[in-house]
Structure 1
Amino acid sequence: MGTKKGVQRRRTLTSLHPDAAGLDVGATFHVVAVPPGRAERSVRSFRSFTTELHALADWLTEVGIKTVAMESTGVYWIPVYEILEARGFEVLLVNARDVKHVPGRKTDVNDAQWLQQLHEHGLLRGSFRPREQVVQLRVYLRHRERLIEYAASHIQHMQKALMQMNVQLHHVVTDITGVTGMRIVRAIVVGERDPRVLASYRDVRCKASLETIEEGLKGNYRPEHVFALRQALELYDFHHRKVAECDAEVERVMHALNAGRVAPTRPLPKVRHASGRHEPAFDARGALYTLLGADLSQIHGFGPYTVLRLIAECGDDMRKWPTAKHFTSWLCLATGNKISGGRLLSSRTRRSSNRAATLLRIAAVSIGRTQTALGAFYRRLAARTGKAKAVTATARKLAVLFYNALRHGLAYEDPGVGYYEERYRQRAVRNLERRARQLGYTLVTPEAATGGVS
């Protein structure tokens, strides 16, 4: 039987998750919505206290809910996420950008109901969250980075106090937190003022001469500036003690991750990268070798600490992403093509605060100074399109190497600058030959031209 003119046949969406709930997260209370008919009140509010969160989990169990979708609102989602996950619910953490409400009134109740409807019909996708022990590793390492940033601010305070005393220490040594600099700063704090004695603390590796250092240490040691220097030094030492405590916790988590794993029979390869300034106090390279079954620090640009932070951000299981293209897209290192009417409107990469992508970009900058194939690729692209695009493109190549090493066990072998330059030359020659054929000419190489002369 046909429909009347002007009347459209209504299409209904398939219910893929009938036991789904939507949760609107707030600072002081959370609003949860369940499918209509599951309870006398399909929408309820619970305060953010821990007892209330457990009551929320009990109510969801009573009404037969199996999966819950919530927005990643600030850090307020973390307690409720962890409690619901521990109670056996499948929790879907979604980006607020993907669940914008339809135009109209915006309330917490509407947001919860909208999340429930979208999740019930399978229209939401969850954000990536690694397994529990990797989450612990991520928290410790992020906190460690914050402590290092705090310590760095106190280095600036020390430099300011020295400048106010007209002590030119940071002009005669490369880094005041190096061996020479810290010896001199600690001696000033305990009361030493003789420039010759202070200069005698110079390390043999210091490039500046004793005379230059002695001249730079003749200052106006006023007590208030020395007091500021002492306080900055004490705070700097304090934060580094806290970093050491963080390292102990990171080592404990790595030991838990490696529990039951058998270390590879092959010995660790020779160290490729020099130790960085903020490397953990334990053998991170050996722990990662046991965890991953490969030494990813052999990849140019990747030190053990960089690999450790990448594992904390991305996890050690790359099966979450079907291909390397999915992985680079998640990192926002792949081109975000916008096409309309068959025309490419834009291919810029999306903006992202992904920490793993930031680490890969930093590694790309450092690899641009190396005599490697990736370094040659970076420099050639930077000369043609600019450094910003070269950093992104090189970071994407590093991301593919990281993915293939973990997912497929592929080993990294650098072909060298010569290999890359030769490939580039061959590609340029092929392009010239094709262009010459299009114009009706034949490209002749210098070798062929000289060989034909008698």
Structure 2
Amino acid sequence: MKKIHNHAAGIDIGARKIFVGLEGREVKSFETFTEDLEMAADYLIDNNIETVALEATGVYWVILFDILQARGIDVWLVDGRSTKQVPGRKTDVKDCQWIQQLHSHGLLSRCFVAEDLVQELREYQRLREDHIRSAAMHINHMQKALTMMNIRLKEVLSQVHGASGLRVIRAILKGERNPKVLVELCEKSILKTKRELVIKSLKGHYTQAGLFALEQAVACYDFYQVQIVRCDEKLDEVLKKMSGENGDASLKPGKKKTRKPIRHHKPKIKNLDRYLLSVFNHRDATVLPGITDYTWMQLLAEVGTDMKKWATEKHFTSWLGLAPKQHHSGKMRKNHKSKGQPKAGLIFKQVATSLLNSKKIALGAFGRKLRARKGPSHAIKAMARKLAELYWKLFVRGLDYIEKGIKDYEEKINLNKERSVRKMAKELGMVISYNTAS
């Protein structure tokens, strides 16, 4: 095979050591302390190495990637699944040699690595989501503590961590036990329809252990709410830098449009829509079904701003893990299921799930039709793929998307059915006659 990269190296990264493989030389190892990583970079430069391939192993690769890139070396971050060794030959030394051989012959593909500001935005966004998950765990602890005392608030209120629920819980922790006093802390809409039911649910059997568990759960929940707000502040700072400090000028006076409501976990970022529009040169992703400003910010953190890194929409959906994969052997025909999936692909799936029961959006009608034949998992994946294609086309080809609704979609389906019937009739030598009688 012809060599593509003549001055190439392969690196196998571990928690304690990295192993550097060069062609025609013995493998050399370095520890993972910063000064040792810099020594590894010097070693590569001294041997005239121009390009390096290293596996995306956890987060171990991040610092080494930055150090090598700062020295002017072309660094290729590659998927570990594409560098698998021959069975029975798995060692760190042989791994780096194998990576070097694959890279020198051009048999490896780069992983997507975001720009500095996008990486920083991603770190804050993912940390925020971790805090949301942790807070949700403590909501469950609150519900468990209330149930232990037979306070059936979660059976009456839609959310015990809503405004009404938290006011009642905090009053209980301060010593209030009278259900008729506690019920007055609920919103008027609840009092109007559920007053007696709430009073009934608040007649519990209070215990010291239950109150202590409830107090701990509320304290932990409040802690994570503070951390979420701090993450929002950092997200605000990064978005301001990405928009060039002119987020407030991204919408012209008199042209401001109503934004889609963010129903859950809305970030406290005052000019989120304006920052995003400024970053994307006034291309608005929220015109696509199901995508809010918060979803758009999540996608920005995962895929960045340059969608041209993917040559076509098919390349993009394949990277997202949304394209159908085949696994054929003889008579066996199976869909291949990959072990991992980029976070961005999961975001598109979440949006698709929310659209599945939509009564006004054409994509929802498409999903329901597919769900009836192949089940919800296939339908959600197919909807997510279509949505991802629209997202790519919006920012690469300047797609002007307009939602035409379910009626237009059904008319197209009926038109396709009519064409199919005409084609079959022509093949069978039949004539179609239309009954116009009412």
SS at match of 1:174: coil
Partner of 1:284: 272
**Which range moves more in the overlay, 190-199 or 428-437?**
428-437
Q: Measure, in 1, the Cα distance between the counterparts of 2:121 and 2:219.
A: 28
- Rounded to whole Å, the distance in 2 between the matches of 1:118 and 1:403 is 31
Do residues 61 (structure 1) and 45 (structure 2) align? yes
Q: Is the 8 Å Cα contact of residues 173 and 208 (structure 1) preserved in structure 2?
A: no
Tell me, which stretches of 5 or more residues in structure 1 are unaligned?
A: 1-12
Could you report, residue by residue, the CA deviation over 1:46-93 in whole angstroms, capped at 9, with x for unpaired residues?
A: 001111111111111111112111111222222222222233222111
Query: Aligned ranges for residues 392-403 of structure 1 at < 5 Å?
Result: 392-403=381-392
- State which of 194, 203, 206 in structure 2 corresponds to 1:209: 194
Check the 8 A contact 1:261/1:291 in 2, yes or no.
no
The alignment partner of 2:76 has SS state of strand
The answer to whether the Cα contact below 8 Å between 1:271 and 1:298 also exists between their aligned partners in 2 is no
For structure 1, which segment, 147-156 or 115-124, has the greater mean C-alpha deviation from structure 2 after superposition? 115-124
Instruction: State the aligned residue count.
Output: 432
Normalised by the size of structure 2, how large is the TM-score? 0.93
Q: Distance in 2 between matches of 1:298 and 1:185?
A: 40
CA contact (8 A) 1:167 1:218 kept: yes
| 1:155 pairs with 2:143 | no
Corresponding position of 1:273: 260
Amino acid corresponding to residue 221 of structure 2 in structure 1: Y
Asked if residue 78 in structure 1 is aligned to residue 62 in structure 2, the reply is yes
Shift, 1:129, TM fit: 1.1
- Say whether residues 1:100 and 2:87 are aligned partners: no
User: Tell me, what secondary structure is at the counterpart of 2:387?
Assistant: helix
AA aligned opposite 1:69:
A
1:436 to 2:393 alignment: no
Asked if 1:364 corresponds to 2:348, the answer is no
**CA distance in 1: counterparts of 2:207 and 2:87, whole angstroms:** 65
State how 1:386-425 maps to structure 2 within 5 Å.
Answer: 386-425=375-414
384 and 95 in structure 1: CA distance in 2 versus 1, 3 angstrom threshold: same
Indicate how the Cα distance of structure 1 residues 168 and 339 shifts in structure 2: closer, same or farther if over 3 A, else same: closer
Partners of 1:142 and 1:151 lie apart in 2 by 14
Instruction: Kindly state the Cα deviation for residue 272 of structure 1 after the two structures are TM-superposed.
Output: 4.7
Gaps of 5+ in 2: none
Q: CA separation of 1:408/1:261 partners in 2, compared to 1, >3 Å: closer, same or farther? A: farther
Q: Which deviations, in whole Å up to 9, do the C-alpha atoms of 1:144-177 show, x marking residues without a partner?
A: 1111100000000000000011111111111011
1:231 alignment partner in structure 2: 216
Report the alpha carbon displacement of residue 139 of structure 1 after superposing the two structures with TM.
1.1
Q: 1:428 to 1:347 in 2, by over 3 A?
A: farther
Q: Distance in 2 between matches of 1:367 and 1:269?
A: 26
Residue 305 of structure 2 corresponds to 316
Paired residue for 1:3? none
* 1:200 alignment partner, SS class: helix
When residues 261 and 274 of structure 1 are mapped into structure 2, their CA distance, relative to the original with a 3 A threshold, is closer
Match of 1:134 in 2: 118
Q: How does 1:117-128 map to 2 (within 5 A)?
A: 117-128=101-112
Q: TM-score normalised to the size of structure 1?
A: 0.90
Tell me, in whole angstroms, the C-alpha distance in 2 between the residues paired with 1:428 and 1:376.
16
- Alignment pair present for 1:193 and 2:203: no
Q: Cα–Cα, structure 1 residues 261 and 407, in superposed 2: closer, same or farther, change >3 Å?
A: farther
Identity %: 40
Quick check: 419-428 or 290-299, which moved more?
Answer: 290-299
CA offsets 1:339-392 (integer angstroms, 9 cap, x no match) = 678x89345564532211111111111112221111211122222322221111
| Cα distance in 1 for residues equivalent to 2:367 and 2:232 | 34
State the partner residue of 1:25: 13
**Residues 11 and 54 in structure 2, CA contact (< 8 A), matched pair in contact too:** yes
- Alignment pair present for 1:259 and 2:252: no
Distance 2:434 2:329 in 1: 44
Q: Secondary structure at the match of 2:395?
A: helix
Partner of 2:342: 354
